[in-house]
Amino acid sequence: MLSGSQVSKTGVMNIDATIRAVQTKLGVGVDGKAGPATWEAIHLRIVGKKTASSTPLGRPPAASAQVDERSERTIVTLQPEVRPYARALVLKAAALGITIKVISGLRTYDEQNALYAQGRSKPGRIVTNARGGFSNHNFGIAFDIGVFRGATYVPESPQYKVIGALGAELGLEWGGNWTSLKDEPHFQLRPAWARGSEREMLAEMRSRKESGNAIYA
């Protein structure tokens, strides 16, 4: 049973108090935030074993079986080097009891320009600062995930931060760490040769795309 402090007078659960109660019960740091340590402790209590250890930076995850059908339709649009990372992220989330799907991958320049127009010349809120040719999605090195509860897509949830931590463990860059226009569903795999700025990396990828050269070579 939840205590009176965990349920408001209207009967709505107080999420912060509930998370703190769970953290106290599990013996992890009590801060009211469902971070990676909390999810790992929940997984240990329910499943009874630790999740697989993280993959060292620069070393791709081992090849894994395909994941859900919707994710796979998107994953196959990505560069071959990125696909095992996307699948590994879905599986690592599942091991913590979080259902995610890969819902956006490769975009054409025209598709990117249409997104850029949203909130500017077209209705809607601004969702990107990148025109066609200036997004990592245009080169198949980036993907977006969505958290799901059953078949329902959840656009906003603290669980995106948990997934961000899992992605970082795999060696992916996470849009939630960006300083402007944070994008928590976004992940990307920077090529080993891309040691300069984001602008320099994008310029090189545009050049490689135009010349037909491999992105990760």
**Which tens digit of pLDDT belongs to each residue from 151-185?**
999 999 999 999 999 999 999 999 999 988 899 99
Q: What is the mean pLDDT of residues 37-45?
A: 64
Structure-token pair, residue 168: 């970082």
Confidence of residue 40 (pLDDT cuts 50, 70, 90): low
Listing DSSP states for 6-47 in one string gives GB-TTS-B-HHHHHHHHHHHHTS--SS---HHHHHHHHHHHH
The Cα–Cα gap between 159 and 132 comes to 30
Handedness of CA 114, 152, 106, 76 (dihedral sign): negative
Q: What is the mean pLDDT of residues 86-103?
A: 96
When the pLDDT of each residue in the chain is averaged and rounded to a whole number, the result is 85
**Architecture of the domain made up of 56-211:** 2-Layer Sandwich (3.30)
Of 84, 65, 116, the C-alpha closest to 216 is 84
Angle at 108 between CA 105 and CA 109, to 5 degrees: 130
Sorted by where each begins, the domain ranges of the chain are 56-211
Q: Determine the pLDDT at residue 16.
A: 72
Predicted confidence (pLDDT) per residue in 100-143, tens digit: 999 999 999 999 999 999 999 999 999 899 999 999 999 999 99
181: left (phi over 0), alpha (psi -120 to 50) or beta: left
Q: Determine the pLDDT at residue 41.
A: 67
Handedness of CA 37, 43, 46, 51 (dihedral sign): negative
CB atoms within 10 A of CB 92: 23
Higher pLDDT, 99 or 35: 99
Q: Determine the pLDDT at residue 179.
A: 84
Confidence of residue 8 (pLDDT cuts 50, 70, 90): very low
Angle at 145 between CA 12 and CA 163, to 5 degrees: 65
The Cα–Cα gap between 43 and 146 comes to 21
Confidence of residue 12 (pLDDT cuts 50, 70, 90): very low
